[in-house]
Amino acid sequence: MTDFLQLADLASERLGGRVIAANDEFFAPKENLLKESKPIFVEGKYTARGKWMDGWETRRRRTPGHDWCVLRLGLPGIISGIVVDTTFFTGNYPERFSLEGCDLGSPNPPGIEKKKPLSAKTEWVQICPETALQGDSRNLFPIGSGARFTHLRLRIYPDGGVARLRVHGEAVPEAKWIAGREIDLAAVEHGGSIVTSSDQFYGAPRNLLMPYKAKNMGDGWETKRRRGPGHDWVVLKLGVPGQIQRIVVDTAHFKGNFPDSCSLDACLAKKAPLDGASITSQDWLEILPKTKLKANHRHVFKLHRHSNTVTHVRFQIYPDGGVSRLRVFGKPEIAEASADGLAGLNLLSKRTAVKSLLDCCGSRKWAEQLATLRPFATRTQLFEASDKIWNVLSHEDWVEAFRHHPPIGGKQAADKQSAKASRWSSAEQSAAQVAAPAVLTAIAEGNRAYTEKFGYVFLICAAGKTSEEILQAMQQRMSNSSETEMRVAVEEQRKIIRLRLEKLLNS
C-alpha cells in the first residue's frame, strides 16, 4: 500500500469538502467526484442525456481546450498524494489530467468564504503537471509540494469522465483557532495522522481520528483475530504537540469484537520525524496503564496532570479487535512546533530571519521589511505581507533580486547565492537543464539577447514548465517594451518568492 493512503482524504464530503464549479457536467454531475462510496456500474441504466455513470463526465469536446472543475477542501492542508479514480470509465476517460491549488485562508467565520476561488485574481500553483491517465483504474500519484492548499482545480484533457478524486494529506489549521484552549491533539482536523500500525485488516487506523461519529464497524479501526502471542497497536502523530489531560476510547458498534483492554504511551520526538523504523528507539512514557474496556461504549479517562509535552502516542489494544474513535485531549504547545515552520520563522532573531528570507528573494529591503513584520499568525498573512512589500519596491530593489538568479539553463548568478538558494534554482530550472541540445542553444542565445536589451537576466517561474515552454515565453517577451517587460519580470519574481517561502516553511 502506498504510504499516503494512510492519511486522511482532505477533500472528503464528511470533512466538508465540496465541488464548487465545473465548466461542463453534461453526462454526470461534478458532485460525484467526492462521494464517499466506491464507484458502481449499473448495466442498462440510462438518463435522458445518455448512459448513467457514477462520476463526473463531460460531453465530447468538438472545439480546442479542455474541461475543469474547482473544489474546496474540507480540511486545508498539505497534500501527500492523490487518487484519480477512473473506475468503469473505459472508452470515455480523459487522456491526461493536471492539478492546481491555492490557499485562500480559512473561512472566518467557518463556512463563509471571504475570497472567491473563481476570481480572475486567484493565484493557482501547479501541484501535478499534465500527466497521462489509465482508464478503469485507480491512478495513484505521490505529491511533494509541501504547500498548504484550501482549494484545488482539476483539469482533464480534453474531456471525459472521472469517477472519484481522493486528496490524501495532513490538515494545517489556523493557529488562532487552536491556541490557548483544550483541543483533541490527535484529531485529523488539527493535523493528526497515522505513522504505522501492527494490523488494519478490517478497518483503516485513520478512522480513529475522524471528527464525526462512526456509522458502523467498518468506520473504525479493526484488526484480524490474533492466533498467537502479542497484541495490536497503532502509533499516531499529534497534529499539535501538547500536554495530554484526558483521552476518550470509543468502541461504538464493536460488541463481540471489542478489545479486552487498552493502554496509551506518549513520547516527544523533536529531532527527526518518527517513522516505523525509529519507534522502538523512543523514550515512551506511560500515560494510561493497561485498562479494561467495554463493548459499544464511550470510555473517558481523566489523567493526572503532568507537564510533559509530547508529539506522538502509541495506542495498544489487547489482544486484538476494533475501536471506532480515539480522542487525545490536551493543551496545545504552539511553541513546540517544528522550528522549520511558521512558528520557527517567527522565533528567529531578525538577523537570522533576514538571512533565511534572502534565500527566497535577493532584495535586502524586502527581506528586512518582512522580517520586521513578524510574528505572522498564518501562512496566508506571511504571503500577503510578502506581496505587498514586493509590489511597492523600487526599480533598483527589483533588479537586485533579479541578480540573485542564474540564467535559465545556467548555474552562476550575477550575485552570489547561498547553497540552499542555489539548490532551489537548480530544481526550479531542472527541465531546462536536460533539454535537447538545439533547445539549450536557443535558450542560451535568447538569454544573451534578452540581457543586452533589458539589462537583467530573463526571469520566469520555471517550476513545472518544459524547456520548450520556457523558450517560447522568452521569444514572445523579447518584443515587449522595457516598461512592460519589467512588470512581467516583477510578477514572475513574485511567483518565485511565493514558492520559495513555501519551501522555507516546509524544508
Same domain as 218, residue 78 = no
Burial class (CB in 10 A: 0-12, 13-18, 19+), 440: middle
Same domain as 456, residue 349 = yes
Query: pLDDT of the chain along its 507 residues, tens only?
Result: 457 898 999 999 999 999 999 999 999 999 999 999 999 999 999 999 999 999 999 999 999 999 999 999 999 988 989 999 999 999 999 999 999 998 887 654 444 455 577 787 788 888 999 999 999 999 999 987 667 889 999 999 999 999 999 999 999 877 666 766 889 999 999 989 999 999 999 999 999 999 999 999 999 999 999 999 999 999 999 988 889 999 999 999 999 999 999 999 999 886 556 666 678 778 899 999 999 999 999 999 998 766 688 999 999 999 999 999 999 999 887 644 443 477 778 767 778 889 889 999 999 999 999 988 877 767 888 998 999 999 999 999 999 999 988 887 666 776 677 777 778 777 766 555 556 788 888 988 999 999 999 999 998 887 767 888 888 999 999 999 999 999 999 999 999 999 889 888 876
98 strand-pairing partners = 155
Same domain as 23, residue 157 = yes
User: Of 318, 336, 354, which marks where a domain is finished?
Assistant: 336
Same domain as 357, residue 436 = yes
CB 143 within 8 A of CB 79: yes
Residue type (1 letter), 123: E
Domain count, the chain: 3
Q: What's 502's domain CATH number? A: 1.10.3330.10
152 strand-pairing partners = 71, 101
CB 295 within 8 A of CB 255: yes
Same domain as 108, residue 19 = yes
User: Of 171, 204, 234, which marks where a domain is finished?
Assistant: 171
Q: What's 241's domain CATH number? A: 2.60.120.260
> How many whole angstroms separate alpha carbon 149 and alpha carbon 67?
21
Same domain as 187, residue 63 = no
Which residues neighbour 455 within 8 Å (Cβ) at sequence distance 6 or greater? 399
Q: Give the angle subtended at the CA of 289 by the CAs of 286 and 294, to the nearest 5°.
A: 140
Same domain as 307, residue 348 = no
pLDDT of residue 3: 79
Residue type (1 letter), 389: I
> How many whole angstroms separate alpha carbon 245 and alpha carbon 235?
18
> How many whole angstroms separate alpha carbon 484 and alpha carbon 462?
20
Same domain as 142, residue 55 = yes
Burial class (CB in 10 A: 0-12, 13-18, 19+), 85: buried
Same domain as 199, residue 95 = no
Which residues neighbour 233 within 8 Å (Cβ) at sequence distance 6 or greater? 197, 198, 314, 315, 316, 317
- Span 230-269, pLDDT tens digits: 999 999 999 888 899 999 999 999 999 999 999 999 998 8
Other CB atoms within 10 Å distance of the CB of residue 385: 16
Same domain as 207, residue 121 = no
Q: Give the angle subtended at the CA of 368 by the CAs of 485 and 351, to the nearest 5°.
A: 140
Same domain as 354, residue 497 = yes
Where would I find the beta strands (DSSP E) of 107-163? 125-132, 138-142, 148-157, 161-162
Question: Can you give the pTM of this predicted structure?
Answer: 0.67
Pairing of strands 96-102, 148-157: antiparallel
Longest distance between any two alpha carbons in the chain, whole Å? 79
- What the block records as the C-alpha cell of 51 is 448512459
Other CB atoms within 10 Å distance of the CB of residue 272: 7
- Span 311-324, pLDDT tens digits: 999 999 999 999 99
Q: How many helices (H) and strands (E) does the chain have?
A: 10, 22
User: Of 304, 336, 368, which marks where a domain is finished?
Assistant: 336
CB 114 within 8 A of CB 107: yes
In the DSSP assignment, the letter for residue 434 is T
CB 260 within 8 A of CB 239: no
pLDDT of residue 307: 67
At residue 446, the 3 state secondary structure works out as helix
> How many whole angstroms separate alpha carbon 103 and alpha carbon 152?
9
pLDDT of residue 264: 96
* Residue 248 dihedral angles phi and psi, to the nearest 5°: -125, 125
Phi and psi based region of residue 65 (left: phi greater than 0; alpha: psi -120 to 50; beta: remaining): left
Q: What is the CA radius of gyration of the chain?
A: 25
User: H or E segment at 240?
Assistant: strand 232-250
Same domain as 232, residue 130 = no
Segments forming the whole domain that contains residue 94 = 3-171
